[in-house]
Amino acid sequence: MLKYIVGIDVGGTSIKIGIFDLNVILLKKWDIPTNSSESGKYILEDIYKSLAHKIEDFDEVLGFGFGVPGPIINGMVFQCVNLGWKNYDLIGAFSKFINNPYILVANDANLATLGETTMGAARGYKNSALLTLGTGVGGGIVTDGNIIGGAHGSAGEIGHLQVIREFGRSCNCGNTGCLETVASATGIKKTYLEISKQSNIESSLKQFENPSAKAIIDAAKHGDLIATLVVENFTYYVAYACHVLSVTTNPDIIIIGGGVSKAGKYILNKIESHFRKFSYKPVRNTKIVLAELGNDAGIYGAAALVKNHG
Amino acid sequence: MLKYIVGIDVGGTSIKIGIFDLNVILLKKWDIPTNSSESGKYILEDIYKSLAHKIEDFDEVLGFGFGVPGPIINGMVFQCVNLGWKNYDLIGAFSKFINNPYILVANDANLATLGETTMGAARGYKNSALLTLGTGVGGGIVTDGNIIGGAHGSAGEIGHLQVIREFGRSCNCGNTGCLETVASATGIKKTYLEISKQSNIESSLKQFENPSAKAIIDAAKHGDLIATLVVENFTYYVAYACHVLSVTTNPDIIIIGGGVSKAGKYILNKIESHFRKFSYKPVRNTKIVLAELGNDAGIYGAAALVKNHG
């Protein structure tokens, strides 16, 4: 009898594995380290061995969902630099260990969006989008309950929305002025250093050589003027990204996740306040909320992918 | 035996009706005038009567697709100012004339996108977007072969993407700086008048008091400097909208339609050239093409909607 769904989130340093019931309720979760040596050829075997210790009867598993940190094109892993995978047939490779009709794979940020939409901050909604503000800026879009993958696996790559069209900072993607260059933790630190250098205003942050994004946001919460300018700057650009989402896929709800979002309501209110000012009127009431599932969003989404298709 | 699909595009001044075979090949098309008096209560009856003259046996019709100029929310026509409809149950109302399980309704711009994707410029692709540059700027998005409607029926409202964030022109929507304010025929004329007033450069257009968008683009084709500046300006913003689409839903192909697109390859090449410069690298090769179905895109899309669901 079918009892379980397995959700797997393959990261560059560790792999999260979750066993869920058929309603995507998490029953058990654990991590294993990622062995990316020899073009990542041991990764799936490690996952299989780890699962074999926890699951007695693989016939009780409806399916296995995988999230990977790279684009998926036509079911193939196009490239995952951190894992050593390139044009990798994950589904075929994992089928050698376990014969199951529902071995599915999707991009990890897209699955995090599906996870938050199924069981997290956007549960009950069919149209959503996620923006994760972390070391970089990622995203994903769900419409009518399904992930949008896109032609090149680049749907939801909202971190590479060009928000500054002239004289923007260089981005890792090779462009300039991407949202990621201003709204990631790294971007926030750079904005602070730029404003700080150009100004004689007193700031509680000047005691630190290179304050973290968290320290900057905390200082803003306590009224530090330079830190407040930095926060106004990046929340404005995040709000612009929300505007872009609202006139393209028009989600019911936009979820803000990632490390930067841990600053909570303070950040959320700033993003909302900017968004309400310039969003297209018919979508001005789009909900904007904080993510709820943290690092588990990916395994929830991987399990939800199986549930949607199984 | 099922033989036909009917596609209907309800516009403010006329209603286009098409009879298609089950493969969405157009067999016959005609127009009737729109009678929007008394809150549009005669519109569906007029359509029914017109159909009854052309179709002998309604049992041979798989279904009826309707495109309307307004947002659809949960199957209801939310508002069509030109038709007098508000919170209108079109499906229920048309069912009183013809009993058929596939009476379907969608926004007209979204249906035009589906039409071009099924039988026009983007046939063969599953992920597409349409930008129509006309009196206003409209749009639609198709992913995995289906229209994205959005939470408020505002998906694909790319005409109201704010492309100028400060000191932009007022838009009919109540905001400022929308794509429509610079890339519609009206916007193009305004840009010409602004540049023209501020400059002493000779222009072949100065003989006209208020040149049309077509005259401006034609002058640019012949090397007129002011007209060329105007064309560079609006094609840049259209390219920016293509960039926005490419990092949100990541279409295989973007279709440029509407009256302004009749300027053809000249405009298309400018849009492409801007787009290739600042688009996110993994999507830099996204195809950009001219629409093919003209004013028939809506009826094709309405028929395709029935085919997809029937």
Model confidence at A190, pLDDT cuts 50, 70, 90, reads very high
Q: Is the pLDDT of residue B82 over 90?
A: no
Give the model's pLDDT for residue B50.
98
Q: Is the pLDDT of residue A200 over 90?
A: no
What is the phi-psi region of residue A219: left when phi exceeds 0, alpha when psi lies from -120 to 50, beta otherwise? alpha
Q: Which residue of A has its CA nearest to B129?
A: A248
When pLDDT is averaged across residues B240-255 and rounded to a whole number, the result is 98
Percent of chain A scoring above 90 in pLDDT: 91
Model confidence at A306, pLDDT cuts 50, 70, 90, reads very high
Model confidence at B81, pLDDT cuts 50, 70, 90, reads confident
Q: Is the pLDDT of residue A285 over 90?
A: yes
Of residues B84, B174, B189, the one with CA closest to residue B133: B189
When pLDDT is averaged across residues A161-176 and rounded to a whole number, the result is 94
When pLDDT is averaged across residues A94-98 and rounded to a whole number, the result is 97
Of residues A258, A203, A157, the one with CA closest to residue B245: A157
Tell me the pLDDT tens digit for each residue of A124-135: 999 999 999 998
Tell me the pLDDT tens digit for each residue of A109-152: 999 999 999 999 999 999 999 999 998 999 999 999 999 999 99
Chain B hits for A161, CB-CB cut-off 8 Å, are: 243-244, 247-248
Tell me the pLDDT tens digit for each residue of A224-239: 999 999 999 999 999 9
Q: Is the pLDDT of residue A257 over 90?
A: yes
Q: Is the pLDDT of residue A82 over 90?
A: no
Give the model's pLDDT for residue A234.
98
Strand partners, A15: A10, A32
Rounded CA gap, A150 and A107, in Å? 11
Amino acid at B3: K
Give the model's pLDDT for residue B310.
82
Residues B149, B107 contacting (CB under 8 angstroms): yes
Amino acid at A271: I
Of residues A31, A41, A39, A38, the one with CA closest to residue A10: A31
Backbone torsions φ then ψ of B252, nearest 5 degrees: -65, -35
Q: Is the pLDDT of residue B54 over 90?
A: yes
Q: Is the pLDDT of residue B23 over 90?
A: yes
Tell me the pLDDT tens digit for each residue of B176-233: 999 999 999 999 999 999 999 988 888 999 888 899 999 999 999 999 999 999 999 9
Model confidence at A209, pLDDT cuts 50, 70, 90, reads confident
**H or E element at residue A27:** strand A26-33
Residues A301, A111 contacting (CB under 8 angstroms): yes
Give the model's pLDDT for residue A302.
98
Residue A45 is given by DSSP the state: H
| Contacts for B50 with CB less than 8 Å, ≥ 6 apart | B17, B30, B32
Q: Which residues of B touch A (CB under 8 A)?
A: 71, 125, 127, 141, 143-144, 146, 148-158, 160-162, 165, 173-175, 178, 240, 243-253, 278, 280-283, 286
CA of A305: how far to CAs of A168, A175, A180, B75, B249, in Å? 37, 32, 27, 26, 19
Give the model's pLDDT for residue B118.
97
Chain centroid, CA A127 distance in Å: 16
Question: Are A152 and B283 in contact (CB < 8 Å)?
Answer: yes
Question: Are A245 and B244 in contact (CB < 8 Å)?
Answer: no
In whole numbers, what is the pLDDT of chain A averaged over residues?
A: 95
Residues B120, B297 contacting (CB under 8 angstroms): yes
Q: Is the pLDDT of residue B147 over 90?
A: yes
When pLDDT is averaged across residues B64-69 and rounded to a whole number, the result is 96
Give the model's pLDDT for residue B110.
96
Which residue among B127, B157, B240 places its CB closest to the CB of A247?
A: B157
Q: Is the pLDDT of residue A199 over 90?
A: no
ipTM of the complex: 0.94
Which residue among A156, A247, A278 places its CB closest to the CB of B154?
A: A247
CA of B120: how far to CAs of B30, B100, B112, B115, in Å? 19, 27, 10, 6
Tell me the pLDDT tens digit for each residue of B274-284: 999 989 999 99
Chain B hits for A244, CB-CB cut-off 8 Å, are: 161, 244, 248
Rounded CA gap, A64 and A96, in Å? 13
Residues A254, A129 contacting (CB under 8 angstroms): yes
3-class secondary-structure state, position A259:
helix
Backbone torsions φ then ψ of A287, nearest 5 degrees: -70, 140
What is the signed CA dihedral for A116, A118, A119, A124, rounded to 10 degrees?
100
Give the model's pLDDT for residue A305.
97
Q: How far is B129 from chain A (nearest CA, A)?
A: 10
Give the model's pLDDT for residue A74.
86
Residues B148, B156 contacting (CB under 8 angstroms): yes
Give the model's pLDDT for residue A290.
98
Chain A hits for B151, CB-CB cut-off 8 Å, are: 125, 127, 250-253, 283, 286
Chain A hits for B146, CB-CB cut-off 8 Å, are: 144
Rounded CA gap, A87 and A97, in Å? 20
The 10 Å Cβ neighbour count of residue B231 is: 24
Q: Is the pLDDT of residue A273 over 90?
A: yes
Q: Is the pLDDT of residue A310 over 90?
A: no
CB pairs under 8 A between A and B: 143
Q: What number of residues does chain B have?
A: 310
What DSSP letter does each residue of A139-168 carry, written as one string?
A: EEEEETTEE---TTS-TT-GGG-B---SSP
